[in-house]
């Protein structure tokens, strides 16, 4: 089905504004035709999950070499602060340094905003309810759709960059009201209270229902924190592909079950039991014994989480390095509030702009064992033969102080 273009869009497509803009339009029109979009619509924001890996670098460099700049400057995902790592932890492999340098240079030429953070929706790039945006990064996509009520499809790094260059996206999928209704009713019988419990729930659900439908969660008695919702959406998109969810009485498009479903019949019903959650919890404790490091911050730690870690480390000294990943704004606030000093005195490293998923950079940790609160962190790094025990933040810090897994 051809996508209907206005005059300005036709001009972009046919090269009036440069070859890079034309290429970006061809990509977007092709996506639109694939998904039967009738037209393109304007975006107001974009976020690009610039992974610093070969395909992403190639595409960004190609656009930059064509002299392209972004009409809607996108914020960027983290990569790797190899200058800090080199000074304090280990020598970053040269291949990793070259990839990070090339990525940063390409996106600088494109006019992107290098916040280097995977959670832009908290501070630096916050859309409003109903706003049409183009976000890649799966935890960002699910958060802005579900928790904020903005509208984005689950873009790739390339399609989000094309949207930023043109200021346009094809109108399909979650941009349309009728596609945002709940389809699977999820009855939670387990007692979900802590932020970590929401990690477990997010990991568990796709294993019980393997599908792309939008789930509606009921039975949650505790109001989740922003960090719990961040963790929840992240894990829904580690074991599954869930670009949007509803929690009745919590998320903005689900004040009631009826509103979440939009009058439609559910396609499936799923029950999450206490036994399901406890089975998942048990599976996360993988290798008791000595550890080599702790790694927290996938997604990036918030200031509230950094404050909790500082409290847990007050007056203590870690037996192993504690690697804490966050954005530069949170690190600056942590310094101003005294948290950074406590963390550093305890042997911790609060590192900005850095992601766990840069394989060429984390290679020195191959064959080692760590603790993390993030199942996604473990999932990414186990491809590098790095073993993780997954547990709540307080147990991760306790394990780091002791130098071995706290049961």
Give the integer Cα–Cα distance in Å for 234 and 133: 19
Q: Concatenate the DSSP letters of all residues of 59-106 into one string.
A: HHHHHHHTT---SSPPEE--B--HHHHHHHT-PPPHHHHHHHHHHHHH
Are residues 280 and 200 in contact, defined by beta-carbon separation less than 8 angstroms?
A: yes
Mean pLDDT of 84-92: 96
Identify the residue with better confidence: 381 or 30.
Answer: 30
Residue 351: which residues within 8 A CB-CB, separation 6 or more? Answer: 81, 84, 85, 323, 324, 325, 326, 331
Residue 51 above 80 pLDDT? no
- What is 285-402's CATH topology? Aconitase; domain 3 (3.30.499)
- Chain segment 252-295, per-residue pLDDT in tens: 999 999 999 999 999 999 999 999 999 999 999 887 899 999 99
Q: Is the pLDDT of residue 1 over 90?
A: no
Q: What is the pLDDT of residues 171-186, one digit of tens each?
A: 999 999 999 999 999 9
Ordered by start, the domain boundaries in the chain are 7-177, 181-282, 285-402
CATH 3.30.60 fits 7-177, yes or no: no
- Collapsing DSSP to helix, strand or coil, 348 comes out as strand
Distances in Å between the alpha carbon of 180 and those of 38, 201, 237, 273, 307? 18, 21, 17, 26, 36
| Residues 324-362: tens digit of each pLDDT | 999 999 999 999 999 999 999 999 999 999 999 998 899
Banded model confidence at residue 35, pLDDT cuts 50, 70, 90: very high
pLDDT number for residue 114: 97
Cis status of the peptide bond prior to 27, with omega within 30 of 0? no
Phi/psi at 190 (nearest 5 deg)? -75, 160
Rg of the chain, C-alpha, whole Å: 22
Chain-wide mean pLDDT for the chain? 96
| The pLDDT value given to residue 367 | 94
The pLDDT score that the predictor gives to residue 287 is 79
293-296 β-sheet, strand order = 348-352, 322-326, 293-296, 369-372, 387-390
Secondary structure class of 363 (helix, strand, coil): helix
Same fold across 7-177 and 285-402: yes
Q: Are 240 and 206 in contact (CB under 8 A)?
A: yes
Among 134-138, 150-154, 382-386, name the one with the lowest average pLDDT: 382-386
For the ranges 216-220, 277-281, 316-320, 359-363, which has the lowest average pLDDT?
Answer: 359-363
Cα-based distances in Å from 136 to 10, 119, 165, 286? 25, 11, 14, 31
- pTM of the full structure: 0.96
Which CATH code is given to the segment(s) 181-282? 3.40.50
pLDDT band at residue 193 using 50, 70 and 90 as cut-offs: very high
Residue 381's Cβ-count burial label (10 Å; 0-12, 13-18, 19+) is buried
Residue 226: predicted pLDDT: 98
What is the tens place of the pLDDT at every residue in 93-139? Answer: 999 999 999 999 999 999 999 999 999 999 999 999 999 999 999 99
Tens digits of residue pLDDT in 294-310: 999 999 999 999 999 99
- CA 370, CA 350: separation in Å to the nearest integer? 17
Share of the chain above pLDDT 70, in %: 100
Cβ-count burial of 259 within 10 angstroms (0-12 exposed, 13-18 middle, 19+ buried)? middle
């Amino acid at each position: 089905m051809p996508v209907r273009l206005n005059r300005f869009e036709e001009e972009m497509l046919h090269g009036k504004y440069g070859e890079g803009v034309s290429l970006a339009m061809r990509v977007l029109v092709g996506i639109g035709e694939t998904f039967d979009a009738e037209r393109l619509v304007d975006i107001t924001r974009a976020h690009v999950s610039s992974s610093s890996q070969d395909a992403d670098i190639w595409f960004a460099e190609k656009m930059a070499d064509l002299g392209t700049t972004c009409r809607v400057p996108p914020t960027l995902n983290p990569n790797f602060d190899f200058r800090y790592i080199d000074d304090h932890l280990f020598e970053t492999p040269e291949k990793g340094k070259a990839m990070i340098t090339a990525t940063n240079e390409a996106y600088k030429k494109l006019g992107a905003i290098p916040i280097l953070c995977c959670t832009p929706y908290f501070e630096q790039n916050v859309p409003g309810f109903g706003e049409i945006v183009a976000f890649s990064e799966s935890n960002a996509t699910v958060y802005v759709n579900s928790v904020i009520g903005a509208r984005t499809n689950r873009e790739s790094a390339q399609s989000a960059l094309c949207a930023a260059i043109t200021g346009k996206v094809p109108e399909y999928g979650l941009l349309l009201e009728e596609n945002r209704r709940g389809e699977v009713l999820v009855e939670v019988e387990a007692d979900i209270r802590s932020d970590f419990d929401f990690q477990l729930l997010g990991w568990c659900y796709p294993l019980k229902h393997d599908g792309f439908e939008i789930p509606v969660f009921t039975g949650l008695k505790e109001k989740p924190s922003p960090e719990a919702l961040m963790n929840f959406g992240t894990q829904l998109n580690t074991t599954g592909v869930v670009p949007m969810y509803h929690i009745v009485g919590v998320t903005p498009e689900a004040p009631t079950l009826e509103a979440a479903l939009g009058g439609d019949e559910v396609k499936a019903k799923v029950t999450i039991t206490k036994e399901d959650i406890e089975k998942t919890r048990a599976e996360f404790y993988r290798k008791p014994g000595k550890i080599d490091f702790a790694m927290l911050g996938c997604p990036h730690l918030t200031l509230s989480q950094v404050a909790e870690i500082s409290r847990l480390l007050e007056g203590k000294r870690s037996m192993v390095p504690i690697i804490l990943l966050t954005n530069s704004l949170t690190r600056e606030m942590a310094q101003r509030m005294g948290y950074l000093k406590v963390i550093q005195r305890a042997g911790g490293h609060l590192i900005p702009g850095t992601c766990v998923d840069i394989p060429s950079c984390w290679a020195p940790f191959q064959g080692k064992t760590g603790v993390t609160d993030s199942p996604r962190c473990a999932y990414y790094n186990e491809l590098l033969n790095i073993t993780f025990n997954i547990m709540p933040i307080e147990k991760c810090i306790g394990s780091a102080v002791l130098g071995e897994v706290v049961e």
